[in-house]
């Protein structure tokens, strides 16, 4: 071997070693990044049990449904400095979902779509799209378990995605879309259960709640809203056929008490919707709050807010869980501002009724029975000539999120004054709606309810028309909501006084949420197809100040 050839071989050997070293270095970096990404995008069971601060891991932020954050960086003394941090436009229909936030990534949805975006900047990380048939009225958001996301669809499917890259893992069928089932709710994850409800009331289909295995997508149990023949409550229906076509959709996300291990869920109206004569009786367990064992699906107790409903007043508004005194005794409470315009307070350990009070004007009831259930006045049921009733089918409130603030002890709700004429149109055997309602007028207000008395502590008018804006209260002594002119509002939760506002250029159709990342608190809302984050101006670092001084 000549000296020149040996030198050449040595050079090639060094190059090869350098390439191998670079390859392994690159591979190690990739593995570290992958591990970091996996760690960053995973959601632990512990995070689901903690107050929402650096994460907002469920539809309501935590299992309680209170929509209260302990964050106070943005507070009543500095909220006047709140400014837009970033904006993300989807170019789709309006955003009705509340984003989840886990380890710096926001996940949100509209029908057929899910996005993952950087929670600090609004930069898109990935986008999932699946075209479907069915009702595209809206989607409330996704559920998350470890590194998986769960989305319900307009064609009544449950989609499981990899949270790291948005790739499809599996799809399972919840119900038959040809029967006009669909699903809009944000799944609720509790340990190894994904709870999923269904929607639809244009046909006479029965409602149910499913518990799904988060890994395999297999059904763990199904709870039917209507009892089966011979079961408790079956005597509140005229016959088996009416029960099996009785409606009671599970439209919205429920709540959960880890200490009692009870799942609380609201149920929708009975079918045919406006024709009560087709289904005499209380029609259990429609228009109710039910407490279920999450591991078995067995019902522990129920409370029916609207027995024998004939006005489409689904009772699916969030059952909010909080602890407090009532009549001088500490209690585990459940409060609900229901679509029938009444606020209900229950002992959530056993479903015992504690208080009923209207939270907005209504004309259909002026008395209650021994269980606090409103008794309908004569002549408020739909008729061929029409019955003028307040509220309309949209109710005194609807799916927009309420909030409970433990600092003020007040329960906040988006409340609507609304009149409608209810007509019966069905001839012969009624199916579906069996009638129509004609809305006449409405306006909206945020109302603060004293849960101990049911009295209204204050009212903040939001303007003419209906509102779909929800509520968020924080330890910064702020209540975030929106008015009907497109203004995002920060109110004083004790008085309802406006402390700050900004026009977002469109009506808000979701509910605000908040989180803290890298020492900066963000408040996120949606207006039409735009998701927006607001924060206080970033403060210059000490190093930056010193550099500038030099």
Catalytic sites, residue numbers:
312
CA distance 174 to 198: 8
Distances in Å between the Cα of 105 and the Cα atoms of 512, 517, 519 are: 16, 10, 16
What is the 3 state secondary structure string of 444-470? EEEEEEECCCCCEEEEEEEEECCCCCC
Q: Are 196 and 183 in contact (CB under 8 A)?
A: yes
Tokens of 161: 């995605």
> Under DSSP, is residue 272 helix (H, G, I), strand (E, B) or coil?
coil
- 127, β-bridge pairs: 115
**Quick count: other Cβ atoms within 10 Å of Cβ 170?**
13
CA distance 61 to 48: 9
Q: Are 229 and 240 in contact (CB under 8 A)?
A: yes
Closest CA to 134 of 149, 166, 117, 112: 112
H or E element, residue 418 = strand 410-424
Closest CA to 163 of 216, 239, 105: 105
CA distance 373 to 383: 23
Percent helix, percent strand, percent coil in the chain, to nearest 5: 10, 40, 50
């Amino acid at each position: 071997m000549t000296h020149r050839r040996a030198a050449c071989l040595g050079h090639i050997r060094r190059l090869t070693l350098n390439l191998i070293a670079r390859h392994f270095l690159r591979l190690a970096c990739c593995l570290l990044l992958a591990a970091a990404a996996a760690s960053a995008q995973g959601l632990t069971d512990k995070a689901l049990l903690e107050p929402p601060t650096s994460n907002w891991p469920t539809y309501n932020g935590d299992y309680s449904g209170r929509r209260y954050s302990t964050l106070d960086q943005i507070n009543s003394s500095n909220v006047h400095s709140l400014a837009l941090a970033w904006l993300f436009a989807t170019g789709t229909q309006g955003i009705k979902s509340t984003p989840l936030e886990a380890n710096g990534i926001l996940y949100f949805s509209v029908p057929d779509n899910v996005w993952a975006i950087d929670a600090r900047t609004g930069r898109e990380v990935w986008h999932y799209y699946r075209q479907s048939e069915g009702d595209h009225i809206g989607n409330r958001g996704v559920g998350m378990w470890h590194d998986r996301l769960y989305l319900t669809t307009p064609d009544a499917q449950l989609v499981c995605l990899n949270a790291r890259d948005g790739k499809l893992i599996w799809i399972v069928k919840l119900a038959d879309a040809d029967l006009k089932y669909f699903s809009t709710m944000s799944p609720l994850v509790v340990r190894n259960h994904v709870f999923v409800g269904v929607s639809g009331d244009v046909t006479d289909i029965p409602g149910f709640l499913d518990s799904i295995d988060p890994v395999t997508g297999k059904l763990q149990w199904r709870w039917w809203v209507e009892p089966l023949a011979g079961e408790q409550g079956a005597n509140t229906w005229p016959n088996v056929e009416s029960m099996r076509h009785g409606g009671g959709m599970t439209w919205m996300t429920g709540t959960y008490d880890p200490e009692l291990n009870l799942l609380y869920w609201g149920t929708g109206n009975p079918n045919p919707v406006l024709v009560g004569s087709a289904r005499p009786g209380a029609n259990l367990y429609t228009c109710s709050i039910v407490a279920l064992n999450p591991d078995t699906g067995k019902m522990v107790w129920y409370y029916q807010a609207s027995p024998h409903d004939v006005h489409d007043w689904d009772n699916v508004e969030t059952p909010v869980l909080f602890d407090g005194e009532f009549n001088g005794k500490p209690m585990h409470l459940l409060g609900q501002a229901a679509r029938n315009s009444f606020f209900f307070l229950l002992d959530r350990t056993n479903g015992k009724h504690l208080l009923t009070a209207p939270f907005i004007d209504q004309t259909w009831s002026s008395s209650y029975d021994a269980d606090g259930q409103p008794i309908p006045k004569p002549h408020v049921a739909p008729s061929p000539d029409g019955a003028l009733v307040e509220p309309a089918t949209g109710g005194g409130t609807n799916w927009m999120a309420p909030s409970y603030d433990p600092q003020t002890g007040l329960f906040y709700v988006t409340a609507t004054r609304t009149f409608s004429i209810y007509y019966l149109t069905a001839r012969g055997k009624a199916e579906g709606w069996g009638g129509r309602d004609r809305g006449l007028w409405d306006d909206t207000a945020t109302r603060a309810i004293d849960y101990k008395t049911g009295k209204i502590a204050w009212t903040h008018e939001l303007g003419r028309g209906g509102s779909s804006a929800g509520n968020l209260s924080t330890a910064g002594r702020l209540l975030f909501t929106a008015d009907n002119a497109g203004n995002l509002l920060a109110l004083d939760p004790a008085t309802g006084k406006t402390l700050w506002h900004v026009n977002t250029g469109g009506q808000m159709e979701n509910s605000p949420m908040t989180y803290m990342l890298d020492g900066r608190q963000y408040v996120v809302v949606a207006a039409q197809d735009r998701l927006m984050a607001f924060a206080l101006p970033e403060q210059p670092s000490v190093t930056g100040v010193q550099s500038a001084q030099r």
